[in-house]
Amino acid sequence: MKQDLREKLSFIAQTLREIESYQHACRVLNFDEETICPERAMGAQGEVRAFLSNKAFKLTKEARFIESSEALFIRKDELDDPLDRILAEDLHRSFLKTKNVTPAMDHEFSLVYNDAFVDWLNAKQKSDFAIFSPSLKKVRDVELKKISLRESKLPDAYDNLLDDYERGMTTRDLDAIFSTCRGRLVPILHKIQNSKKRIRTDFLTRSVTDEQQREMSKYLLETMGFDFRRGAFTVSEHPFTEGLGRDDVRVTTHYYPNMFCSSIYSIIHEGGHALFEMYQPGDDWDHFINNDKTMGMHESVSRFYENRVGRSKAFIHLIYPSVKKIFSEAMRDVSENELYEAVNVVTPSLVRIEADELTYTFHIIIRYELEKMMVNDHAEISSLPELWAEKYEEYLGIRPQNDTEGVLQDIHWTSGFGYFTTYALGNMYNAMYYKTMSEEFDVEAAIAKGNFARINGWMKDRVWKNANRLTPKEWLRDITGDDFSVEPFLDYLEKKYTEIYEL
């Protein structure tokens, strides 16, 4: 590598370290805002976060940084380290997206998202979409404005947002994927609904304390291999994971007094995200590409632990004694098999994060269709509650009774659109690599014995190692040797629920 290029790379690294300091502070403030920040302080705290975020953004607009970054991209073949070539491509993509966004615009956008979060939280607590509607309209307007400002953009507005979360994914791809899902999932759902098999679920609504759920959450994270020297957990309105830094990953859950399985599976889900953050290669941090993994990749891991592991017979066998001990009164007369069947019961429901594996995809299809309507068709924001209700009746045969269990249940629209589809893609991705994993060792036996060192070791070597370095399609081919397909996911669901419901 020539000296002038080495100097440019050194300057970029220095700037990125400074940017990371601002962003780290923003993540700390965000975590605080979503956990223990007093309600009346949220607005001011959001303004501080927007200020710091804007400081980081301004560094990317400095002439020397832009010149150095573009030189790196143009001359990327001269770079000695392939990870620096990935960084060069990242910087160029970011430049094309933000070239025409001024610092003043960036600050304005951040305030819109923060105000939307505050209004969403208030609206959800009061079950009144009208409180959130004006802010959501502003979020939609910001998303469209940011697309219009891009130096290079796709013809379909919504495709640009999808590409932000899942590189290379388009509405054409998703329309075909979801059409296949509808074609195979609807018949299974109908068979289950007509099945004579009845699964016991009465105990799932028995009362448990927050302290019992906290104890269970800690036990589950420890079982999964969560490193408490580098992570922590608490509660929030909507469970999430925040990777604050290389050695600081925070997860949250939510405790419902009459829904103990909700916190069990939210903590396993978020714990999966945390493991991904904790055990990605250190080299990726050193070369500033640690955030290159797509959200579909991330969701594949969280839902791998939540569903493929967490709802398996082997995992229920592993945790049953602890569940019985910690929730002693609620579980007083519940057998291991009754618990297994109950956590896998299929019941069309209104709340996405409580949905069973089979009907979960319909929740994502509904949000995907509504997002396309908002972004591409400029649907009236005020009409969303009714559109939401109509789609739930169409796909699942149920209607929400209020905005909290309907259109206000998710936090994601406070920060834009395009994320939801990654949940469904994540399920499809992990079905592919679970199949590969099971061909190499007995996964069920490892789960039953609590041998997460074996499972996490495979995930580290095969799934997490190259996630920041490859596109989703390349990544799946690298892990499995096969091109992306939705079929393994659908095959898994058909087999599992045929057995459970004795179809």
Distance CA 54, CA 42 (A): 18
Query: What would the 3-class secondary structure string for 365-392 be?
Result: HHHHHHHHHHHCCCCCHHHHHHHHHHHH
Which one from 34, 143, 166, 270 is the annotated catalytic residue?
Answer: 270
Distance CA 165, CA 172 (A): 16
β-pairing, 241-245 vs 248-253, is: antiparallel
How far is residue 381 from each of residues 104, 137, 140, measured CA to CA in Å?
Answer: 26, 6, 9
How far is residue 309 from each of residues 46, 101, 247, 388, 431, measured CA to CA in Å?
Answer: 37, 43, 25, 31, 11
Q: How many CB atoms lie within 10 A of CB 71?
A: 17
> CA 160 from chain center: how many Å?
18
**163 Cβ contact list (under 8 Å, min separation 6):** 154, 169, 170
Helix axes 210-224, 313-326, angle to 10 degrees: 140
Residue type, 40: R
Structure tokens at 137: 């309209």
Half-sphere exposure of 231 (CA within 13 A, CB side): 27
Distance CA 237, CA 421 (A): 22
Nearest in space to 72 (alpha carbons), one of 120, 25, 5, 152? 5
Are 218 and 237 spatial neighbours (Cβ–Cβ below 8 Å)? no
Is 390 noted as a catalytic residue in this protein?
Answer: no
Q: Kindly tell me the burial class for residue 502, based on how many C-beta atoms sit within 10 Å of its own C-beta (0-12, 13-18, 19 or more).
A: exposed
Structure tokens at 252: 């949250």
Distance CA 216, CA 224 (A): 12
Half-sphere exposure of 64 (CA within 13 A, CB side): 11
Q: Which residues are known catalytic residues?
A: 270
